[in-house]
Structure 1
Amino acid sequence: MRNPARENDWPLVTVIMPVRNEARFIARSLGAVLNQDYPPERLQIIVVDGMSTDGTREKVERLRRRGVDLCLIDNPGVIVPTGLNAALRLAKGEVIVRVDGHCEIAPDYVRRCVAHLESGEADGVGGPLETVGTGIVAQAIARAMSSPFGVGGSAFRTVRDRALYVDTIAFPAYTRRIVEMAGPFDEELVRNQDDEYNYRLRKLGARLLLAPDVRARYYSRSSFRSLWRQYLQYGYWKVRVLQKHPAQMRWRQFVPPLFVFAIAVASILAPFDGGSSLMTLGLVYSASAIACALYEGRSYPTLMPLVALAFATMHLAYGIGFWVGLIKFRRLWRPYDAEGSVHGSIRG
């Protein structure tokens, strides 16, 4: 067991933060990284800025602290995977931790992740997310994103009371060994790059642990418009993950597209059945969404209609995005390369 008094006993950890236009949250998210109870001399922090225009860079500069290895680099590619790969080429750590600009990790996050990895339990570890919102709409969205009805069986959003091995983890810590084996993130994927990467890790034999003592807080979108855009992109880019790794898909990911398909079919049948199919489908979905919204908003009844609206926004946006992706990427149904990885290297 390591002696906390001997800082050199702890492995060097690189924390990577890909951000873009996170001026509202960067003090909170980066501040949480800087306030870790892990020896600061054993931390390397790399903030990768996707060419922000809202003052994010200036806030990062102001947060620099003496004695902390904090590096701010550009991400001309703007999207998350190009930023992650740029940071990985500079990473020195034996452990690599990815943190988001909308995330606030607990003070012991890094220490607990290191403990799990060093015990040999897993090659990657993350924890359950506490999704929160600032403002009534954001609070409703946060409730919907934490509900099994909203996100299906997504363990890191819905399981909080037990440790288990999972398909994917949010804001993970990985051993450097497994990262070097997997190679870079897929820079085609604007969204869903974590799902694709974690699938490649599991194909290599990696075990991904959801540990209840590894805690993080995620700040949800604050408007239905931004939630729609987020889930539209999730559905759209999930098609490319499906094309590259069919075995990565789970049944829950097909439910929203099937729901949208059912709406389309019922709408076509409406002139012939008087709209009864469409009405029945709408009533069944509405009753389910309202019942789940009542449960999620039981301690705050005024949230109930907004939670139900958040459910519908997430499901319709994801389903429509998936169908748009099927049309857009229809010519790209071809096998991925034999190793199930992307070309390139994380080494500089």
Structure 2
Amino acid sequence: MPTVSVIVPCRNERDHIEAFCRSVAAQTLPDGWTLEVLVADGLSDDGTRERLSAWCASDPRFVLIDNPGRIVSCGLNRCIEQARGEFIVRLDVHTVYAHDYIAQCLATWQRTGADNVGGPWKAEGAPGAASVVQRAVAAAFQSRWVAGGALSRDLAYEGEADTVYLGAWPRATFVRFGGFDENLVRNQDDEHNLRIHKGGGRIWQSATIRSTYVPRASKADVFRQYRQYGYWKPFVMKKHGQPAALRHLVPGLFVGLLLLSLLVMLAGALALAAWAPEAGTRASDVLGWITLLASVMLMGLSLLYGGAVLAVSVAIARQQGWALWRHLPDVIGAYQLGYGLGSLRGWWDAVVRGRPDPSFGRLTR
């Protein structure tokens, strides 16, 4: 009988691993298909391994694999190496899946013949007043204005895309395009999808493949998460000589302009103060104009961005509930400014230093 291999990277997921295993075990597969679930544990030290081992002992379809590399790309590759299935589906511990998630991945692949298939990336916070920040994080995540128009956030889109959430592949995809880049702590899926595109492959998103992602519950966690996403993106671009999409460049360029304007303004003000006795000279006049232009640019960019964030926050709150309103500007800033700052640091390390900073190698959840 043909087999579907589910591959799952995890580390320190004690509070979630058993619920996740129950949801996978309850998946409805098409007639004639069998299931195996390979979970690559990144040497968890919080009790995850013990709970996962007990589950594997009770259900032989589940197999625990060691992932000494600890990061997602290493875990995915260790699973792929041991997978027996003709079709391979990646799942994430912090996502809730429709009962037919795997079946719809299979059906979409059989219908389209694509090299990678998946569904839209839907985020949803827990209900209740205690989780209002998490619901604001989820609402901002789903906004096309916050996401830069990414198709992966469009819950109704059906068709070819540059990337999909998680992914599902016929085994032939990995034979043709290789596995995941183990040098990347984040964005290994974007890099793999870019490799598929450049190699002439196809990626297909289907609204029938349904899942719900549980996002971070604090603004600081969102900032750290997206700073890390932004940091690793330049390493992907450097490897392939191009961005996967132009929207990946915008946050870094915007934050770079803000910082450059601020630095020029401060440097100009300090220089003018030092040259006060020389006031009226041509050099001081030029310096004054440069300082003024930098100040105007900084203020203009700040006002423009602040106004846009407030407008988007109102639009989201109008649809998702006004209880989210006071948190949305902070959440949007955490997403976009965190990504932008991470991108700038990533470009420095990728181009100037030529190697990543180990401090960005730790996962942030």
2:123: which partner in 1?
Answer: 131
* Offset of residue 199 of structure 1: 1.3
2:17: which partner in 1?
Answer: 26
* Offset of residue 105 of structure 1: 1.6
1:95 and 2:81 aligned? no
Whole-angstrom CA distance in 1 between matches of 2:32 and 2:97: 16
* Offset of residue 202 of structure 1: 2.0
Greater helix proportion: 2
Query: Which of 299, 318, 343 lines up with 1:322 in the alignment?
Result: 343
1:222 and 2:242 aligned? no
**Residues 169 and 208, structure 1, Cα contact 8 Å, conserved in 2:** yes
Match of 1:96, SS state, is: strand
Which moves more between the two structures, 263-272 or 278-287? 263-272
* Offset of residue 260 of structure 1: 0.7
**Residues 19 and 47, structure 1, Cα contact 8 Å, conserved in 2:** yes
1:259: which partner in 2?
Answer: 254
Q: Give the structure-2-normalised TM-score.
A: 0.83
* Offset of residue 195 of structure 1: 0.5
Report percent identity of matched pairs: 36
Query: Which of 54, 64, 74 lines up with 2:66 in the alignment?
Result: 74
Whole-angstrom CA distance in 1 between matches of 2:166 and 2:92: 7
- For structure 1, the residue ranges without an aligned partner over 5 or more in a row are 1-7, 335-348
Deviations 1:63-85 (A, max 9, x none): 44855510011111100111111
**Residues 228 and 339, structure 2, Cα contact 8 Å, conserved in 1:** yes
Query: Which of 266, 278, 298 lines up with 1:278 in the alignment?
Result: 298
Q: Which amino acid aligns with 2:255?
A: V
Deviations 1:188-227 (A, max 9, x none): 0000000011111223322111001000111101112211
Q: Which amino acid aligns with 1:23?
A: R
Whole-angstrom CA distance in 1 between matches of 2:28 and 2:173: 25
**Residues 243 and 332, structure 1, Cα contact 8 Å, conserved in 2:** no
Tell me: CA distance 1:162–1:328, structure 2 relative to 1, closer, same or farther (3 Å). Answer: closer
Deviations 1:53-108 (A, max 9, x none): 22222332344485551001111110011111111110000000011121122110
Whole-angstrom CA distance in 1 between matches of 2:55 and 2:122: 25
Match of 1:18, SS state, is: strand
1:168 and 2:163 aligned? yes
CA-atom RMSD in angstroms: 2.1
1:140 and 2:150 aligned? no
Match of 2:204, SS state, is: strand
Match of 1:171, SS state, is: strand
* Offset of residue 16 of structure 1: 0.4
Whole-angstrom CA distance in 2 between matches of 1:249 and 1:59: 38
Question: How many residues are aligned here?
Answer: 324
Q: Which amino acid aligns with 1:89?
A: E
* Offset of residue 151 of structure 1: 1.5
Q: Which amino acid aligns with 1:310?
A: V
Q: Which amino acid aligns with 1:323?
A: L
Whole-angstrom CA distance in 2 between matches of 1:96 and 1:285: 42
Which runs of structure 2 are paired with 1:1-348 in the superposition (5 Å)? 8=1, 11-38=2-29, 42-64=34-56, 68-134=60-126, 135-157=131-153, 159-270=154-265, 271=269, 272-273=291-292, 275-298=295-318, 299-331=320-352
**Residues 121 and 164, structure 2, Cα contact 8 Å, conserved in 1:** no
Deviations 1:153-194 (A, max 9, x none): 22112x122311001111211011112211221100000000
